[in-house]
């Protein structure tokens, strides 16, 4: 499974009502660290398909979602479980750094 493009229109159904935890990557196409994180995020989406949903929020196109989350630096990751924020981290990192956000919840 690949990552899902999250928008203001589908955020409620895809994130807040998701039966599985959701990892959200706030990014932008011009962001160098975001580009570095993309393969890590894609690998996690593939490896944890079925037990974790991975969504992408382009902050340039979905500024309202970024603003609601107080995102001021990218990449920023948020983890949702049962409709609530369960974790977050800002900045590029290694795969195990990202996995640490959700490993204990799946």
C-alpha angle 72-13-50 in degrees, rounded to nearest 5: 95
Q: Active-site residues: which are they?
A: 31, 34
**Other beta carbons less than 10 A from residue 100's beta carbon:** 13
Token pair recorded at residue 96: 């195990």
Distance separating alpha carbons of residues 101 and 91, to the nearest angstrom: 13
The model's pTM = 0.95
Backbone torsions φ then ψ of 8, nearest 5 degrees = -60, -30
**For the chain, which domains are there?**
4-92 (3.40.30.10)
Q: Which residues contact 61 (CB under 8 A, 6 or more apart)?
A: 7
pLDDT tens column, 34-90: 999 999 999 999 999 999 999 999 999 999 999 999 999 999 999 999 999 999 999
């Amino acid at each position: 499974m690949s990552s899902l493009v999250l928008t203001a229109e589908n955020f409620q159904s895809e994130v807040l009502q998701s039966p599985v935890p959701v990892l959200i990557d706030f990014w932008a196409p011009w962001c160098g660290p975001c580009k570095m994180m993309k393969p890590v995020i894609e690998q996690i989406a593939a490896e944890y398909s079925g037990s974790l949903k991975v969504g992408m929020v382009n902050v340039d196109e979905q500024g309202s979602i970024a603003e609601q989350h107080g995102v001021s630096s990218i990449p920023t990751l948020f983890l949702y479980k049962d409709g609530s924020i369960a974790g977050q981290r800002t900045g590029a990192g290694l795969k195990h750094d990202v996995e640490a956000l959700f490993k204990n919840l799946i």
